[in-house]
Amino acid sequence: MQRRAYIELIKSSSEAMHSDHVNMPADPKTEKPSVVINRVQTHQAASELMEAITRTNDPPFLFRRCRDILHIHPDGVTRTLDAEALKDLMDRSARVIKVAKNGEATLAPLPLAPAKSVLAGDLTRFGLPVLKEVLHTPTLLKNGRVLDRPGYDPASQLYLALPSGFKILRRPPPSKAAAIEAYAWIANIMGDFAWDDSASLANAMAFILGVAARNVIDSIMPLALVGKKFGAGKTLLCNVLAILATGTRPTLVQFPESNDQLRKLLLSHFRESPAATVFDNVANGRTLNPAALNSALTAGIFKDRILQSSKNSSFDLRGHPMLLNGNTLKLKYEFARRCLPITLLSSASNPTLRQPKGGFKYPGEALLEFCLENRSVVNSKSLTILESWCLERDRNGIPGQGQTPQIPSFEKWSEIVGSIMFFCGQGHLFLAGRQETLLEKAEDPQEEFAFVGAIVDTFGSDCFKASELWARIEEGGTIGELVPKSLRDALKGGDRKSAAVGVWLRDRRDTYFGPDDNILLRREKDLDRAGAAIWQLVTAASDDASE
């Protein structure tokens, strides 16, 4: 029997079922359409079920982001739909019909296959609106328009979900004086922190204003690195910066041990569409060169394969605020050059007992509560700064152009944020040599790359153990001459040289080397019979092929 005949049967059967089984509303817009689930190809049923969903998607609550379907609750909570969640939505949007051989149409349970078919295929064919980002405070767009109307904005592909109690405040006319006053008001909130110097406070303000201006900048931004003394308030500052910048309290995440674990964590974290990412309390003295994070920061895109799936998911991270805090961290050059350093350095022997003169204005949690209660005011002040800066830019050109320092690879962010800081009278404090100091303390990448190149020349793409590498170092030759200072220091004293080499390799596990980050040091999952780790250096091309 042809599909058209099935539809006619469904229509007649549904009329009979209307009075007996199904409570169908009279409004044709909300009436559930009937969809035949058997004796048709899965993709046909899937298309009709998605059509039933999109009929109710006005105003939109369902969106497409790359190869994911996202559901946004009115309060801004975002959920990436898996097959089970999409199936439930399909079941609520349509009357699922099963037609027997004798032509009798009955209601039937919905199988999982149509939802899987949708998620595995091309999502563009369903006409879902594209979502770039969910915001929780009004923002200034690139064209000078302030987005302050809650809901989806098709032109910018942004969704504004204002927190409960948030108010759109009236702003003063744009002017330099209004911008300077607004800057001082925001900076005063953070006055109780033990800043290393005024440049650190300026960098914290640069982070906040960079997030506020992210849709004007429309480019990548550096990670805010908050350090460095125990008990100085790093976690509290990260929370405050995230609230002042985004209007919401962030979820703190722990920094994992390996690059592979980091990729998995970032994938699950970004699929939840967080307003900000805060890596909290990284282990004291840890060496950092996270390849996955390095790539995401400069490319502006994070892409990885979903676990237990052949499907990739990608996220646009341009303008996404990221912070990391820890004590006396050791940074590799490749990571250090992607950071905006913000330093807390209390002179007290026990910073947790520090009491500023006159006491804290907002101690601990009280400061977070103040930031949350006054986020409407903070947002109004930030918009005042940006609107005043835009007016000056349009009249007289970019303020302070060419007069403020830049972070390489983040030139557009540096230019615009530096100009805003200059306009507010803080251009002399922006960066203020802080990034150069951070890079001077970072370990020399060229020395280690030369050594890694010698290992490649020796072992090629073959696997090796730490004891085998130490044996080649002892033999001398090129590989012995190129041992970097970090490994020479580790080899001083003690008889367990192979163990020292193993520790050096472990600290650089899942690290990319080279000017193009094209050589990866990885540890194979299998150990030899004695339990020794097996290592391998692979090029980016061969690593991609193995995946």
Judge if 212 and 318 occupy the same domain. yes
Judge if 29 and 60 occupy the same domain. yes
pLDDT digits (tens, 9 = 90+) for 115-141: 999 998 889 999 999 999 999 999 999
Using the 3D structure, point to which of 382, 417, 441 is the last residue of a domain.
441
Judge if 479 and 424 occupy the same domain. no
Q: From start to end of 88-189, where are the E strands? A: 95-99, 105-107, 133-135, 139-140, 146-147, 151-153, 158-160
Total number of domains constituting the chain = 3
pLDDT digits (tens, 9 = 90+) for 129-173: 999 999 999 999 998 899 999 999 999 999 999 998 899 999 999
Which range (27-31, 66-70, 174-178, 465-469) has the least confidence? 27-31
Alpha helices in 191-290 (DSSP H): 198-212, 214-217, 234-246, 259-270
Tokens of 510: 């899942």
Judge if 422 and 434 occupy the same domain. yes
Specify the pLDDT at position 221: 94
Specify the pLDDT at position 336: 86
Specify the pLDDT at position 25: 32
Tell me if 268 is assigned to some domain.
no
Judge if 428 and 509 occupy the same domain. no
Structural domain harbouring 306? 176-249+282-441
Question: Has residue 439 got a pLDDT over 80?
Answer: no
Judge if 433 and 473 occupy the same domain. no
Tell me if 160 is assigned to some domain.
no
Judge if 49 and 71 occupy the same domain. yes
pTM above 0.85, yes or no: no
pLDDT digits (tens, 9 = 90+) for 42-82: 889 999 999 999 988 989 999 998 888 999 987 778 888 98
Separation between Cα atoms, residue 62 and residue 79, nearest integer Å: 10
Tell me if 168 is assigned to some domain.
no
pLDDT digits (tens, 9 = 90+) for 202-236: 999 999 999 999 999 999 999 998 876 555 788 99
pLDDT band for position 545 (50/70/90)?
very low
Contact assessment for residue 470 and residue 490, using Cβ atoms and an 8 Å cutoff: no
Question: Has residue 15 got a pLDDT over 50?
Answer: no
Tell me if 102 is assigned to some domain.
yes
- The CA–CA distances, whole Å, from 507 to 263, 288, 483, 523, 532 equal 17, 9, 16, 11, 16
Judge if 424 and 450 occupy the same domain. no
Contact assessment for residue 275 and residue 247, using Cβ atoms and an 8 Å cutoff: yes
pLDDT band for position 101 (50/70/90)?
confident
Judge if 361 and 388 occupy the same domain. yes
Tell me if 157 is assigned to some domain.
no
Tell me if 287 is assigned to some domain.
yes
Judge if 422 and 475 occupy the same domain. no
Judge if 82 and 193 occupy the same domain. no
Number of other residues whose CB lies within 10 A of the CB of residue 8: 11
Which is nearest to 390 in space by CA: 212, 246, 219? Answer: 212
pLDDT digits (tens, 9 = 90+) for 350-396: 445 455 555 567 666 889 999 999 999 999 999 999 999 999 999 99
Tell me if 263 is assigned to some domain.
no
Using the 3D structure, point to which of 126, 157, 188 is the last residue of a domain.
126
The residue-averaged pLDDT of 437-454 equals 75
pLDDT digits (tens, 9 = 90+) for 297-336: 988 888 887 766 666 777 888 889 999 998 878 888 888 8
Number of other residues whose CB lies within 10 A of the CB of residue 75: 10
SS in 3 state form for 349-383?
CCHHHCCCCCCCCCCCHHHHHHHHHCHHHHHHHHH
